[in-house]
Structure 1
Amino acid sequence: MLIIKQHEIPNLIFKEAIKKPIAIKCIQINEPFEVETLEGKMMGKKGDWLMVGVNDEMYPCDNSIFKKSYNLIK
């Protein structure tokens, strides 16, 4: 069995891939909030984003991560 540890990239021949540009729904919430996610309840801070994924799963996204990872299209 191959055991792969966090932060230890195995010596394998990796391929490269680019994540598909899939539009999701999102809204910036201007107050602290709690959302039930697939992993359990998560907290969002004032200014964080509530994201709705491709399978209608919901999760918070920190505003600084959102700015680095997403562009609004509408």
Structure 2
Amino acid sequence: MKKYRKKAVVVEAYQTDKKIVIHTLEGDMTASPGDYIITGVNGEKYPCKPDIFRKTYELVEK
């Protein structure tokens, strides 16, 4: 079986300070305070828990 590496993609994200509902491609998802809201490469938005975000993303610019 072949192995693949995920391509490096720069996304925009911010950390929410309140509970909000995000309309994603998979349906509505609830983001909790502290979750990151990520805007994907095609403009789609989705929430991400802080621990997963820190393992998956690193800051590109300030």
TM-score (norm 2): 0.92
Name the residue aligned to 2:48.
Answer: 61
**With structure 1 as the length reference, what TM-score do the two structures score?**
0.78
Q: Which runs of 4+ in 1 moved over 6 A?
A: none
Q: What amino acid sits opposite 2:51 in the alignment?
A: S
Q: Which structure is higher in strand share? A: 2
C-alpha distance after superposition, 1:3-62 (max 9, x if no partner)? xxxxxxxxxxx1011111110111111111111001111001100000000111110001
Unaligned runs of 5+ in 1: 1-13
> Cα RMSD (Å) of the superposition?
0.8
| Pairs aligned (count) | 61
- Structure 2 gaps, min length 5: none
**Whose Rg is larger?**
1
- Matching of residue 20 in structure 1 with residue 23 in structure 2: no
